[in-house]
Structure 1
């Protein structure tokens, strides 16, 4: 293997693998419930070539789409690179051509103006199509059967933004997908394109508005009647980029904002609420309405969780000193002013998951990753440099919290939720768990009862080859796959 920088972004769980492979009938320890029938797709950053600069980060890794196909208790696996324009250009050159993370001014002149996205963040299923997304560009459609890349997706030219969010939201009742792109008309722009696609995947609305400053908007939320845009003070600056600097720099003294608008309304109806300075959240659990109130639950911290974003803004904080927790913000739209209420409802953590049926509605429980106090030091790896070693289930309505804690030397990636046949049951969670073994790592797919996570897995699937830590995942049922539209004409 060519030499990679020996930094946290390329060692431990972040050690490059760069292998496309597949296997059928993997060994299963235990029994996978028969109602788990479909595919667990994972977004895995894995650089195909050593980077141009030694200070490169994991978020620049080429996107790979992985698939666990599960049927009648059997498991097949496959993983392939997403053949973005960037991947194809570097594959042809046999070396990296694109420079620093989200800084086009550091690229090789041979690729000036070419598509920089690596589509490595989130698998998205909607309208019978599978997309791999990263918020610095458009999504790429992938064949859900073969994992072959079909091409960039812009709703047949109808979507005019240059970017597509990593976290769209699908309404469980209407089937519509609500999404946005920030830096919609270019690097460091304040423009946001807010769009809606109907249940069949046709674009039905696109509107543009300005955010207060150019910030990284990784996630947003919907309720039955509103769209919610949190703005945190991790900002971009064009002069800094032109000088070869970082795309994102956290500004600890800059205030945060939340924009709320009717989800079918006009962007001119956006109402802005001012929040505390310096805070940050990358992932939102859910939002819902209660009378005239809007509740937004999010994984909040008192500064940016990414060290490279903090340090670019002059914020020197050890990862272990970051404070925060699962937090509920409550907005009273009947009151004047730009304030809102805040209270902590759960321990610190991230990578939340809830039932798809609860999206934008009141919910009984959610699951997210955290740290096990008895689990020892976390393994090095993952997007922020350390890996989670506990899974939490929280019921915000009554404060109940359950935990599945892992042993020393283990790590867990974000779970996906598989609904139960009976709607009153919690269903199942699928997740990849890694265990340190001497100088390498061993990975397993775990199947966990979502209503009894403390009992541990009901089934485990050991993997025969090393695996990279994922970013996000998606569950697509066999029924949904059967209605897939890959390669069908528009």
Structure 2
């Protein structure tokens, strides 16, 4: 009998759901825009078996991908596990076989040599495939219509990196998918791979470089000429793993670096500029762009570590107030002779995370950004159901051009998951479209899909789609037009 731990990661709204399902024409209120024709994919960590070692962090669950197929004013639901090597091995054994997050030293001996991916961090669409991503391994590709798992993508062995990012970017000019792989030569190594994948799905570039120190490199930015990579001291080492400590721990004594890496076939380590600044925390990236000799990089920045499950390496207690992140613009000048930042500017007093833009403006100056706001002044009757334990209770829109802000509160017994922007048309102006996102109804133990007019979020959702099951906290997701993945020509019957 499966018995999950009686701990916050496995109880309440975070109780594993372990559901695969198909539901046609979900009930909804409001009006689902008829122009919306495609699918919103999102992924949740959702363990199929209790953790082998008695407890675990929520980020170590098996990837379970939800697809909301939006068409003809209705929404159809499909949810499938990603059939990773881990998933298959544990299904065959009937129990958990893998140990602590990112620590192979804690695994059952039978798993030696297996790719440890849980494929639980991003559901990404590119080259007609659904990519299930976890940054400690290659991505798994799936059929976006049937949602059946195919295989790990190594580009017929052309990719030498052992890892592939969970936050790729699409170059709006070339259409290439830009990616990194940190710990490219193995766990805790300071090797990073920079890769580009063409729209036909072929690997067209893979260059390696060294970073100032090994750490979690969860996200990055791109510009026309550069890959922009922030090095923030959520650090790891073999010593930590051997001592049974968390794979990452935050070091407040280390400097933060920003790497400006030329996107070139002849890239060498000496071509990279490393700028440095005082300690801070930053994980996700809103966007990056060039302006003359200057490179701008916008992130939610916090004074201290945001992840309580990756504790302070010196033993300091988690500091909640210092973990509140706010959109901040980092600027460096490539014409300078030094390694100092040119400017660091906080753009708002609103605390937020999970930033998203109109992805057609990746790598160029954008106007709008949406994210999940943490407004601790709002009433809160129930907690839980949010990534990392934070109360993400508002949708936040920031106009970077005028400074204007909009906020929409989901209520005292709900929390929100990452927003995703969907343009009204391929050539629509920036921000002209919708926001789709999941809302956790914490008291009812179920979820809703919310659809907003993207530039009028304060008016509330134009449609609320009721999901009769509970979707666990999710990480990242993306929308694909029906014609780009074959949903308009292939029948998506239950597999």
**Pairwise TM-score range, normalised by the shorter structure:** over 0.9
**1:281 match:** 282
**1:466 match:** 470
Alignment of 1:26-425 (within 5 A): 26-264=26-264, 266-268=267-269, 269-277=271-279, 279-311=280-312, 313-340=314-341, 341-346=343-348, 347-372=350-375, 373-376=377-380, 379-421=383-425, 423-424=428-429
SS in 1 for 2:241: helix
Q: Measure, in 2, the Cα distance between the counterparts of 1:300 and 1:485.
A: 44
SS in 2 for 1:239: helix
Q: Measure, in 2, the Cα distance between the counterparts of 1:483 and 1:91.
A: 30
Q: Measure, in 2, the Cα distance between the counterparts of 1:247 and 1:293.
A: 35
CA contact (8 A) 1:13 1:381 kept: yes
Deviation at 1:483, TM superposition (A): 9.0
Deviation at 1:264, TM superposition (A): 2.5
Q: Measure, in 2, the Cα distance between the counterparts of 1:384 and 1:186.
A: 26
Deviation at 1:317, TM superposition (A): 2.1
Q: 1:377 to 1:322 in 2, by over 3 A?
A: farther
Q: Measure, in 2, the Cα distance between the counterparts of 1:314 and 1:196.
A: 40
Deviation at 1:469, TM superposition (A): 1.3
Deviation at 1:54, TM superposition (A): 3.0
**2:493 match:** none
CA contact (8 A) 1:412 1:432 kept: yes
Total equivalences in the alignment:
483
Deviation at 1:271, TM superposition (A): 0.4
Q: Measure, in 1, the Cα distance between the counterparts of 2:206 and 2:419.
A: 31
SS in 2 for 1:384: helix
Q: 1:367 to 1:186 in 2, by over 3 A?
A: same
Q: TM-score, normalised by structure 2?
A: 0.94
Deviation at 1:423, TM superposition (A): 1.5
Deviation at 1:14, TM superposition (A): 1.6
**Deviation readout 1:198-231 (Å, 9 max, x if unpaired):** 1222111111111111110000000111110100
Q: Measure, in 1, the Cα distance between the counterparts of 2:334 and 2:488.
A: 40
Deviation at 1:192, TM superposition (A): 0.4
**What is the Cα-based RMSD across aligned positions, in Å?**
1.8
Q: Measure, in 2, the Cα distance between the counterparts of 1:359 and 1:304.
A: 27
**1:480 match:** 484
Q: 1:303 to 1:160 in 2, by over 3 A?
A: same
Q: Measure, in 2, the Cα distance between the counterparts of 1:375 and 1:195.
A: 45
**1:435 match:** 441
CA contact (8 A) 2:41 2:67 kept: yes
Query: Which stretch of the first structure deviates more once superposed, 378-387 or 466-475?
Result: 378-387
CA contact (8 A) 2:385 2:442 kept: no
SS in 2 for 1:309: coil
SS in 1 for 2:468: coil
SS in 2 for 1:88: helix
**1:444 match:** 448
Q: Which runs of 5+ in 2 are unaligned?
A: 491-495
Q: TM-score, normalised by structure 1?
A: 0.95
Q: Measure, in 1, the Cα distance between the counterparts of 2:61 and 2:166.
A: 15
Q: 1:378 to 1:285 in 2, by over 3 A?
A: farther
Moved over 3 A (4+): 483-486
Q: Measure, in 1, the Cα distance between the counterparts of 2:258 and 2:17.
A: 39
Q: Which runs of 5+ in 1 are unaligned?
A: none
SS in 1 for 2:304: coil
Deviation at 1:173, TM superposition (A): 2.3
Q: 1:214 to 1:377 in 2, by over 3 A?
A: farther
Q: Measure, in 2, the Cα distance between the counterparts of 1:184 and 1:297.
A: 26
